[in-house]
Amino acid sequence: MTFDPSTLTYNDAGLIPAIAQDATSGEVLMMAWMNAEAVAKTLETGRVTYWSRSRQSFWIKGESSGHVQELVDFRVDCDRDCLLVTVNQTGAACHTNRRTCFYTAVRQGDEVELMKPME
């Protein structure tokens, strides 16, 4: 069966959350948004493409930073309203220059920073 991005369930803004996971380690790297065209571009090019809500434009991960996400696998959840993109990540995934965006833990009511920015 051929995949059609229009069969996904997008929110009222036409967006769907996409979780990026490292293909080797399984580490969750980040969450960003895609629209139907970003989904199609990602699948066509193998370079993960998101929709930037702040800039209202496409955002090809690593285009300016060099921290590229090469698509390994593309999955749709059971409700068709969330995506999992498994990637080969070059450099940091987070705009703070950390490997992952999920570097802050909440432990016993306190925030704990688990990693420093990459060098």
List, for residues 34-70, the tens digit of each pLDDT value.
999 999 999 999 999 999 999 999 999 888 888 999 9
Domain 5-91: assigned CATH number: 3.10.20.810
Annotated binding residues? 77-79, 81, 94, 101
Of the pLDDT bands very low, low, confident and very high (cuts 50, 70, 90), residue 118 is confident
Annotated binding residues for Mg(2+)? 77, 79, 81
- Alpha-carbon dihedral angle through residues 83, 89, 93, 99, given to the nearest 10 degrees: 120
**What pLDDT, on the 0 to 100 scale, is given for residue 63?**
87
Q: Which residues of 82-109 are buried (b: 16+ CB within 10 A; e: fewer)?
A: bbebbbebeebbbeeebbbbbeeeeeee
Domain ranges, ordered by start, for the chain: 5-91
76-100 per-position pLDDT tens digit: 999 999 999 999 999 999 999 999 9
Q: Tokens 């080969």 sit at which residue?
A: 88
pLDDT at position 4 over 90: yes
**What pLDDT, on the 0 to 100 scale, is given for residue 5?**
94
Of the pLDDT bands very low, low, confident and very high (cuts 50, 70, 90), residue 1 is confident
pLDDT at position 32 over 90: yes
Annotated binding residues for Zn(2+)? 78, 94, 101
* CA–CA–CA angle 59, 111, 22 (5° rounding): 40
**What pLDDT, on the 0 to 100 scale, is given for residue 119?**
79
